[in-house]
Amino acid sequence: MLTLEISKQIVKNVYPIVLSNRSKIFQEEVSVAALQDYFGLDHAFSVYAAATIIYQLEADGYVSKPLKRHEYKRILLK
């Protein structure tokens, strides 16, 4: 339960940074691995936090859904 709460705080604090630096973070495709590499987050926290950040970027229109035409990869839209 503690991991989940810490991950929520990471998302809350890190999302604005990801939003402003998204073109630096995601060179080719949007992925959890790219966020892990950029921030050096501990694996236990970063999987949940990174996935949540990516879903929020998608909801806000900055990232595509994993469509067949993109080989099921998420890409930056803006």
Distance separating alpha carbons of residues 41 and 43, to the nearest angstrom: 6
**0.85 cut: is pTM over it?**
no
Residue in this structure with the two tokens 């991950």, named with its chain if needed = 7
Q: Output the six-digit token pair for 19.
A: 């939003």
27-74 pLDDT, tens digit each: 878 988 888 888 887 676 678 888 889 999 999 999 988 888 878 888
Name the residue ranges covered by the structural domains of the chain.
Answer: 2-70
Q: Positive or negative CA dihedral for 18, 49, 45, 28?
A: negative
Using an 8 Å Cβ cutoff, are 63 and 75 in contact?
yes
Distance separating alpha carbons of residues 74 and 70, to the nearest angstrom: 7
